[in-house]
Structure 1
Amino acid sequence: MTSSFALHASVVAATFLLAGFVKGVTGMGLPTVAMGVLGTLMLPAQAAAMLLLPSFVTNVWQLFAGPSVRELVKRLWPMMVGIVAGTLAAASFIAGGGGEWAVAGLGAALTLYAAAGLMAWRFSVPARHERWLSPAVGVVTGAITGGTGVFVVPAVPYLQGLTLKKEDLVQALGLSFTVSTIALAIGLTREHAFAVDDLGTSLGAVVPALLGMWIGQRVRGHISPATFRRWFFICLLGLGIQLLARAFV
């Protein structure tokens, strides 16, 4: 094992340990943190391929941690269909060597999400608008997922705007992220940016991600969620700006 390989493996493991920890505390953030950090070290398509299995495993865990899966699927299926359609339509961008534009898109998505979080943007979604707004949000989320590997915009603000109990919101986020992960895997595979040989690398990231998530869940009750989220968004903002600068400088 060369020293450069060992360093690379250590950085990847540390990244997914941190990303899992953030997800354990907040219920989201694993792919966002992983894409943000790894996006500074490799092409977005490579980072997206690496996060597929850790994202899938941790999101399925989150999705089935409560009793409301069937009800959430029944309510949110138009959004999920939109996510799949948007992701598959846009996957060629991140996988097709979008190059500096893919990096810029990732930076822009992280910056927008971080700014929204720091400014505490919140809005309420009237039930009468869900019928048309849900698939529209899904398509936009899918397009951003397919172009950048980031699942959160605008899915997270939209789900937070629904009248969901706290536990149902966590499950709804798990559902959205699980569908996004599967759709991204299909899109990357179709575009020949993810193959069976890549499963070993992605599988190796599962253990630190799960460990980080477990640690995050254990410390969640001992830290201030507001303070943690604020620093989380500040760090994301820094990563987003750094990626934007990297793309255009």
Structure 2
Amino acid sequence: MMDHSIWLVVAIFATFFAAGMVKGVTGMGLPTVAMGVLGVLISPLTAASLLIVPSFVTNVWQLLAGPNFARLGRRLFLLALAITAGTFGGSYLLAAGDTRVTTMALGAALVIYAGHALLARQLRVPPRLEPLLSPIIGLITGLLTGATGVFVVPAVPYLQALWLEKEELVQALGLSFTVSTGALAVALAWHGAFRIDNLALSTLAIVPALAGMWAGQIIRNRVGPATFRRCFLICLLVLGAEMVVKAAF
């Protein structure tokens, strides 16, 4: 059971506000920021259980606020299905508490991708390859989600390579993250990782997460497409580096 001291609760709420703001600006980052900061204070398994409710609520908000949920849902159905299956498989590592190697590998992949995208030409996935690539990308994303509690690689680079419009990309990320969060919640419950006290604190964390996301969305609405893409990739680079450093030390 987690010690709910006042300072720990304040730190948790401040973390979710900051994570929500990052998500509001870039459409992603809440679980990565939350896992990165809270992992210093509490166990990775407990941190993952705390992020379930605020992550799910903010992802649903992000998903439903986009321009065309039905069309994206049909296009990304295979991706979502494979993410669900992979998350259950990878969750055994998270439940065992041994996530150092997978977290480091995940962070390194983020750094390499973001660095390449910032310095080189943007990758593009032809529409004819989506039926083949979506299940593969979804399965790998699910395995890493289950093992680390972070829903980023390789789904985020893949979705960006589809060359969606800014708001469509944000909505597609919301769809991917909603599926990942739901699958992770069920997988953690299957492993008996949820406690009533953690679930209550996770529910309360919705407030700072939504407040941060609202503030971040105001910033995003004032940013042009080119600046948005650059900020998006820089965010990936920083988050990846943070994950590598955290896992190494």
**TM value normalised by structure 2:** 0.89
Q: Which amino acid aligns with 1:181?
A: T
**1:165 deviation in Å?**
2.3
Deviation at 1:118, TM superposition (A): 3.2
2:220–2:228 CA contact under 8 A, matched in 1? yes
> Could you tell me how far 1:229 is from its partner in structure 2?
4.3
Change beyond 3 A, Cα 1:114–1:15: farther
| Secondary structure of the corresponding residue to residue 40 of structure 1 | helix
Counterpart code for 1:241: V
Aligned position for 1:106: 103
Question: Are 2:247 and 1:244 aligned?
Answer: yes
Report if aligned partners of 1:83, 1:179 keep a CA contact under 8 Å in 2. yes
The answer to whether the 8 Å contact 2:103/2:244 transfers is no
1:72/1:39 CA distance change after superposition, 3 Å: same
Distance in 1 (CA, whole Å) between partners of 2:39 and 2:108 is 14
Give 2:244's aligned amino acid.
I
Q: How does 1:142-221 map to 2 (within 5 A)?
A: 142-221=142-221
Tell whether the 8 Å contact from 1:44 to 1:103 is kept in structure 2 after alignment: no
SS in 1 for 2:117: coil
Alpha-carbon displacement from aligned partner over 1:155-179 (angstroms, at most 9, x marks no partner): 0111111142222211111000000
**Match status 1:126 vs 2:126:** yes
Unaligned runs of 5+ in 1: none
Query: What displacement does 1:40 show?
Result: 2.4
Compared with structure 1, are the counterparts of its residues 109 and 61 closer, same or farther at alpha carbon in structure 2 (3 Å cutoff)?
A: same
CA RMSD, 1 decimal: 2.1
Residue 58 of structure 1: aligned partner: 58
| Deviation for aligned residue 1:194 | 1.8
Deviation per CA, 1:198-217: give whole Å up to 9, x if none.
31021121111111111111
Per the normalisation by structure 1, the TM-score is 0.89
Identity across matched positions, percent: 48
Aligned pair count reads: 241
Q: Is contact 2:35-2:149 (8 Å) kept? A: yes
Where structure 2 has 5 or more consecutive residues not aligned to the other structure, the ranges are: none
C-alpha distance in structure 2 between counterparts of 1:88 and 1:67, whole Å: 30
Change over 3 Å in CA distance of 1:106–1:197 after alignment to 2:
same
Deviation of residue 31 (structure 1)?
Answer: 0.9
Contact 2:117-2:233 within 8 A present in 1 as well: no
CA contact 1:45–1:95 (8 Å) conserved in 2: yes
CA contact (8 A) 1:36 1:110 kept: no
**Do structure 1's residue 24 and structure 2's residue 24 form an aligned pair?**
yes
1:54 partner amino acid: P
State the alpha-carbon separation in 2 of the partners of residues 114 and 201 from structure 1.
32
Determine the C-alpha separation between the residues in 1 that align with 2:4 and 2:175. Answer: 37
SS at match of 2:40: coil
Query: Retained in 2: the 8 A contact 1:87–1:180?
Result: yes
Amino acid at match of 1:63: L
Deviation string 1:123-163 (CA, Å, 9 cap, x unpaired) is 11111111111011000000000000110100011111114
Question: How far, CA to CA, are the matches of 1:142 and 1:123 in structure 2?
Answer: 22
> Which amino acid in structure 2 is aligned with residue 109 of structure 1?
L
Aligned counterparts of 2:157 and 2:24: Cα–Cα separation in 1: 19
CA distance in structure 2 between the partners assigned to 1:64 and 1:227 by the alignment: 25
Partner of 2:96: 96
